[in-house]
Structure 1
Amino acid sequence: MAIPSELWSLARVTVVVSIAMSYARFASSRVTPGALRLAALLPVISLLPLLPFSFSSITLRGTAGFLLAWLSLFKLLLLSFGLGPLHPSLPLLPFLLTSSLPVKLRSFTNTKQQHTSSSSTVLFLLSVAAKLLLYAFLASLYRFRDRMSPYLLLGILCFHIYVSLELLLALSAAAARGALGVELEPQANKPYLATSLGDFWGRRWNLMVSAALRPAVYHPVRARLGRAAGVVAAFLVSGLMHEAMFYYITLAAPPTGEVTAFFALHGLCTAAEGWWARRRSAAPAPPRWVAAPVTVGFVVGTGLWLFVPPLFRGGTDERMLEECMAMVAFVEETGRSLL
């Protein structure tokens, strides 16, 4: 991976996305929600899934796939029908950041809230710094991978992917906060404390995806077929989108369906969990110290069974390690040249 060329690709994609989203804002301000607005936005919607192929890096291609071919695409589809976080009345910069990054603006109505936001900035920056240090520490461990057992290396890789996602969300939020000076909706909420699958997927893990799937899939299906069908449909769409994300990362075709099976299983279990909770509403809930390990254990166990294997087939894990080590070397070399 040639890092300088990838950085140039990143700059080009950033310019293209900025122009495309500026057009989307202009077009949506001129056309009322519905089929005509959807038609006006189709050029941008069609462009977004192609942009990740601008990168040869697995990391950048996968990140661009997640941000553009999933979140941004869903936001524009929702905008077509007057839904979601985007609105043509947003100023240009907030529109660009909200449409292209995994962030959602939060409005403040009084000075007390604004003061609370300011006081939380230090904690937020410390959190970002801690995640950066943790990412760098995990990357440094790969130098000793020849001495590690395969299971230890797999565990570090999985944890590294989790930290990478957390870091991506944190850096996106930092960029939006710095550019706009406003508070944002939370992107995650301590998923390791989840006490149920509904709690994990709906209120704690990757809330930007939940915010996109809820109005785009869950609400329409629930209105027609009921709550359980809405839950399962949202998970199935999430599974299909994850299959697409894995394709961006691995470029391996055809998809195996394991990732979709993972989300279908969790959709069915979440729907069954909700049904059981409604029937047993008077029964006391299990204590957190029991419910949280069981919930997280189920997510991790089924993830290792169905979610992780397709990602690491065909030498993808080796390429990810090589990219990570190349990035660390690039940062170290750049740092030495600046000193």
Structure 2
Amino acid sequence: MVTKILRPIVYDPIRYMCARWARLLAIMSTFVVSGLMHEVIYYYLTRVQPTWEVTWFFVLQGACMVVEVEMKKAETGTWLLHSAISGLLTLVFLAVTANWLFFPQLLSNGVDIKALGEYEIMVDLVKSNLPHYQSH
């Protein structure tokens, strides 16, 4: 969903400029906007002033994506990792940076508890409206 929103609104307009660095600027801009959107969502859920950790998480991801794109462009196949290894390294990197920057704001403000409570309300609502869950 985020890709379908941010690609045409942020990435594509910047990417197709004639500037030499347009692709890298488009990548970074997309990640920054995504981080800011997440900050707004967190604020909506918690009504707590942003700590900007979430935005920094996305800025870091964007910077790493820029480095990866440039390295792949420069190397042209001379130094490739097996996809299983590169996939594992990506997951480890995401897990470490998410635990460092993304999740602390959620957990410290109880968003996980609020989300579970809202999920429970939704399940109860669905159950109450489905005939096979109703007892007679």
| Mapped partners of 2:13, 2:120: distance in 1 | 45
Q: Does 1:280 align with 2:68?
A: no
Structure 1 position 236 matched with structure 2 position 32: yes
Q: Distance in 2 between matches of 1:326 and 1:304?
A: 28
Residue type at the aligned position of 1:267: G
* Counterpart in the other structure of 1:220: 13
Q: Report the equivalent of 1:321.
A: 116
Partners of 1:336 and 1:210 in 2: CA distance = 37
Correspondent of 1:311 among 95, 103, 106: 106
TM-score, with normalisation over the residues of structure 2?
Answer: 0.81
Please report how far the alpha carbon of residue 324 of structure 1 lies from its aligned counterpart in structure 2 after TM superposition: 2.9
Partner amino acid for 2:103?
V
Structure 1 residue 210 and structure 2 residue 7: aligned? Answer: no
Shift of 1:333: 5.0
- CA offsets, 1:9-32, max 9 Å, x none? xxxxxxxxxxxxxxxxxxxxxxxx
**Aligned-partner SS, 2:109:** helix
| Aligned residue in 2 for 1:251 | 47
Unmatched 5+ stretches in structure 1:
1-207
For 1:317 and 1:307, how far apart are their aligned partners in 2?
A: 13
SS of structure 1 residue aligned to 2:58? helix
- Distance in 2 between the 1:268 and 1:288 partners? 21
- Aligned partners of 2:80, 2:6: CA distance in 1, in Å? 28
Aligned mates of 2:23, 2:91 — CA distance in 1: 24
Find the aligned partners of 1:331 and 1:218 in 2 and give their Cα distance: 38
**Deviation for aligned residue 1:233:** 0.9
Which residue of the partner structure matches residue 87 of structure 2? Answer: 292
What TM-score, normalized by structure 1, do the two folds share?
0.35
Runs of 4+ in 1 over 6 A off after TM superposition: none
| Structure 1 residues 213 and 316: CA distance shift in structure 2, 3 A | closer
CA deviation digits over 1:190-214, x for unaligned, max 9? Answer: xxxxxxxxxxxxxxxxxx3223222
Residues of 2 paired with 1:320 and 1:226: CA distance? 38
**1:264: how far off?**
0.3
Identity of aligned residues (%): 36
Q: Distance in 1 between matches of 2:80 and 2:134?
A: 58
For the structure 1 residues 245 and 283, does the alpha-carbon distance in structure 2 shift closer, same or farther, using more than 3 Å as the test? same
Shift in CA distance, 286/213, structure 1 to aligned 2, threshold 3 Å: same
* Cα distance in 2 between the residues matched to 1:268 and 1:258: 15
Q: Structure 1 residues 217 and 326 mapped into 2: Cα distance closer, same or farther (>3 Å)?
A: closer
AA of the residue aligned to 2:53 = E
Specify the SS of the correspondent of 1:311.
helix
Question: 1:274: how far off?
Answer: 0.5
> Which whole-Å CA distance do the structure 2 matches of 1:226 and 1:247 have between them?
31
Could you give the per-residue CA deviations for residues 183-240 of structure 1, whole angstroms, max 9, x where no partner exists? xxxxxxxxxxxxxxxxxxxxxxxxx322322222223323144221111111111111
In 2, the alpha carbon distance for the partners of 1:322 and 1:226 equals 44
Q: How many residues align structurally? A: 131
Cα RMSD (Å): 2.2
Instruction: Please give the alpha-carbon distance, in whole angstroms, between the structure 1 residues aligned to 2:122 and 2:77.
Output: 54
Structure 2, gaps ≥5 residues long? none
1:299 Cα offset (Å) = 1.3
Read off the aligned partner of 2:90 and give its amino acid letter: T
